[in-house]
Each structure stands twice: as C-alpha cells, then as structure tokens.
A and B are shown apart, each in its own frame.
Chain A
Amino acid sequence: MYRLSHTVRCPVCGVEFRPTVGYLKGDEAEVMCPNGHIFTVSVPNGDSVLDCEIRDWERFGLLPQATQQAVLEVIQSGKVPNELQALMRRLKEIGVVVCT
C-alpha cells in the first residue's frame, strides 16, 4: 500500500486528494475518497518501452526462450508487466534493449 505522488479528483463529490493505493490490477487501482466514494484510478508505471529494439542479440540469446519471447512481446506492446519491470530495466541499462 502506498500513496500516489499526485492528486486525483473524486468523480462523485469532486474532492481532490492524494489516494492511497493497495493492490494493482494491471495499471489500475481502486481508491476511496475522504467521503467514502470508491472509484478506479490509472496508475501507469514509470517505465516506457515505446520505440525499443533489441540491440545486443548475442546477450539476448543467452536468455531462456520463454523470457526472450516475453521481452519481445513487451517491446511490441509497449507495456511492461510489473514482474518484468526489473528485467527490462536491466536489459536497457546494459544496452541489450535500446529505446529511442
């Protein structure tokens, strides 16, 4: 559970507040405003993989087949599932994946 760094507006009563987010469903989470109204907010992750490509195929080839497939799917879709965030960051850091 953590508090978002930005404020959101409750669609029911209009109050602005910094919501506390619990379990995420994809990029969305249910939050409750101070007046008790529950609604869904978007919580995009900070990692974008738009316009990315594999640059170091030799190192990429060392990964297990299923992981290679998962990384290619991430690059195609532009969305990083939470469990692959760390791996994608590491791949970008060492230049296996390069994003423009």
Chain B
Amino acid sequence: MKLVEELNVLRYYKPFIEAFGGVKQVRTALRWSEWYAVKWWEEVYNDLGLQSIRESVFARALFISLKIRDYVREDGNIKKRPEKPEYPTNSYAMEFVDLHESFDRIGAVNVAANKADENTLAVLYSTMLSQGWYRILRQTFLRLMEIERYPAVFEPVVKEGHTAAAVMEITTPKMYIGFDYRRDNVELASATLRTRPGECGGGICIFQAPTACDAVKIARRYAPSGVDAVLMLHTLYWLLDPVKELTCISQIIGPGGKLLVGQQVVESTPGLIAIVTSFGAKHVFSWKGVEQILRSAGYQLSKRYLKYMPYYIAVWEPKRS
C-alpha cells in the first residue's frame, strides 16, 4: 500500500479502521485475504491450469490480483507464498477472515469449474452482506458520500436491499429508486425495505429490469426531472455491459447530480474480490479500469477519495456538453 493511499485511508475511512480494531488488525485481515487467495489460485492452477482465467471470472480475479502483487508469474506458477498470518483478535476482523474460511470449505476448484452449488454461494453472499464488518463498510461509505445531501437517489442493482436500508438509517430520501435484474433480489430487497416489488409506495420504488438501460426508462416515470445521486456501491462488476449501462444511467442524473462509486478492484483485497466474483460478478476491474469505463461512458471525475484500499471510492458526474 503506497503512503499517500494509506494516509487517505486513515483520513477518509477512519470509522471502519477503528471498528476493525486499528491498522494492525486491518492489516492482519488483509494478509489473510492474500493468504487465502494464493491458496485458492494454487488449487485452481494445479487442477485446471492457466486457461481457467478465460473460463472463470473467479479464477481471473485471483490471477490478476495476485500477479500485480508479484505472488504469481505470467505462466501462472506461484512465485512466492505469504506466511500464514496470526488470527485477528477483533471480532469484525475475525468475521472477515471467517468469510474466507467458509468460502474455502466450498472449494476454489469447484467454484472455478462452475461446479459449486449456486444456492450455497447465494447463502454465503447473503451472509457477507449481513456481516458486521460489511455493515460498517457500507455505513462508512455512505457517510463519506454525505448521502443525506441527496433527496432523490437511484440505486442500480439493488441486490438484497442492504445498501438502501443503510441509507434509510442515515436519512429519509424523498425518493429512492432501485432495480435488480434478478427477481429473487427484487423480492428480498422489497422485504428488507418493507415495500412491494414494482410499486412505488411512500417514495421507495423497487422493481425488476433486465439492464440499467431498461431500468432508467422505468425510473424516469418516477423521477421525470432526474435524481440527485446514483449510488453504486460494489455494483459496477454486476453490470453486463458497463459502458453502455453507465451511459444510460447518466440520463437519469438531474442537473448537478452525482454518481457515487465504491468498487472493489484487483488492487484491493484479493481473496475478497475473488469471493465476490464467485457470487455472479461479470467483471474484474483495476482502479484505472474503473475510471476508463466511467470516462468512456461520458462522466468526469468530481472527487476521488481512495484508489483501491479498502476499495475504490470516488464521486463522478455526467459531462454536460
């Protein structure tokens, strides 16, 4: 971790670091994420070879994130192995490590070969979203973004509604519009937010749409003059065609509106990003890749908080000609 990035983490992500028991505990947790990533890559490489990175986003995430850390060679062989870290003592740091341990029991090769039980992965995803460390991560992000400044919010790929619920804990937006391409997520998010799918009761609208472009057409009915913020916390890698969908999303952003981005990237925690890709993410990005995509989609950077640690965080806005 470079010095400037480290200072920025302390500056912008202090509540998260404090909850994790300080920098040492965070580092221990991150070392576990690296340790597991190396273990999983070795298993995948030994069983499926280097071609696994073409067939599995999970394998690709492992390979790229370990390669940039100099743990694996270009040909996929392990270059060096991290020492097994000591177990953390902070309960949130322990939760983080336990998630890796649970995932390890499913089997990295099973995941890379697409043989892991989809329901078990879905349960583990729900588990991650409900874990205490993830709640703090979400809250820290929303407070850093000053979410209360935005009366009308659009959240693409609302998942199980945890981010929306976290927003409601901080503020009461006049309008909160969210969509997901998965029916089960729409139902779960609606239940979490105590609303009905496809209805727009009391300012919360959760509906199903196949892509962000379709969703924006529906969202325009609820917010004809656009929204004040589009909230994308760990969402970019779920989009099928990120540039196209982000371009559509820019059309729902009203004058002065912002795109609030938090995104795990390959420079972040290698084990965690691999876990998340196994839950159905379609892409892995570097932090520069995230910015290239956003620029290609017609956005300009308003403020970058963090490049990659614990994940990429920035505010963007549509470039108005």
Interface residues, chain A, CB within 8 Å of chain B? 1-3, 5, 20-24, 43, 45-47, 59, 61-67, 70, 82-87, 89-91, 93-94, 96
Please give me the residue from chain B that is nearest to A43 by CB atom.
B194
Contact A89 B98 (CB under 8 A): no
**Chain A residues, Cβ within 8 Å of B126:** 86-87, 90
**Chain B residues, Cβ within 8 Å of A85:** 188, 191-192
**Contact check: which of B102, B105, B188, B204 meets A2 at CB < 8 Å?**
B204
Contact B130 A66 (CB under 8 A): no
Whole-angstrom distance from the CB of B191 to the nearest CB of chain A?
6
If over half of B's interface residues share one DSSP class (helix, strand or loop), that class is named, otherwise mixed; here it is helix
**Contact check: which of B123, B191, B194, B195 meets A91 at CB < 8 Å?**
B123
Q: 4 other contacts beyond A61-B105, A66-B94, A83-B162, with CB at 8 A cut-off? A: A1-B173, A66-B95, A87-B129, A93-B119
**Chain A residues, Cβ within 8 Å of B192:** 82, 85-86
Known contacts A1-B204, A62-B106; decide if A46 and B130 are in contact (CB<8 Å): no
B18 in the interface (beta carbon within 8 A): no
**Chain B residues, Cβ within 8 Å of A21:** 194, 202
**Chain A residues, Cβ within 8 Å of B101:** 64
Known contacts A2-B193, A64-B99, A89-B191; decide if A22 and B168 are in contact (CB<8 Å): yes
B169 in the interface (beta carbon within 8 A): yes
Interface residues, chain B, CB within 8 Å of chain A? 91, 94-95, 98-99, 101-102, 105-106, 119-120, 122-124, 126-127, 129-132, 135, 160-162, 165, 168-169, 172-174, 188-189, 191-196, 201-204
Contact B123 A64 (CB under 8 A): no
19 pairs, A vs B, C-beta closer than 8 Å: A1-B174, A2-B193, A2-B195, A2-B202, A23-B169, A24-B194, A46-B194, A61-B105, A62-B102, A62-B120, A62-B123, A64-B95, A64-B98, A66-B95, A83-B135, A86-B130, A86-B188, A87-B123, A87-B127
**Chain A residues, Cβ within 8 Å of B105:** 61-62
Please give me the residue from chain A that is nearest to B122 by CB atom.
A90
Known contacts A1-B204, A87-B123, A89-B188; decide if A65 and B162 are in contact (CB<8 Å): no
Please give me the residue from chain A that is nearest to B102 by CB atom.
A64
- 10 tightest CB-CB pairs across the interface, nearest first? A2-B202, A64-B98, A86-B160, A3-B202, A87-B126, A94-B119, A86-B188, A22-B172, A2-B204, A3-B201
Residue picked from A45, A59, A83, A89, most chain B C-beta under 10 Å? A83
User: In the bound complex, what is the Cα–Cα distance between A43 and B188 (angstroms)?
Assistant: 17
User: In the bound complex, what is the Cα–Cα distance between A84 and B130 (angstroms)?
Assistant: 6
Contact B191 A87 (CB under 8 A): no
**Contact check: which of B123, B129, B131, B169 meets A94 at CB < 8 Å?**
B123
**Chain A residues, Cβ within 8 Å of B130:** 67, 70, 83-84, 86-87
Contact B172 A23 (CB under 8 A): yes
User: In the bound complex, what is the Cα–Cα distance between A12 and B275 (angstroms)?
Assistant: 53
Contact A64 B131 (CB under 8 A): yes
**Chain A residues, Cβ within 8 Å of B123:** 59, 62-63, 87, 90-91, 94, 96
Whole-angstrom distance from the CB of A92 to the nearest CB of chain B?
11
**Chain B residues, Cβ within 8 Å of A24:** 194
**Chain A residues, Cβ within 8 Å of B99:** 64
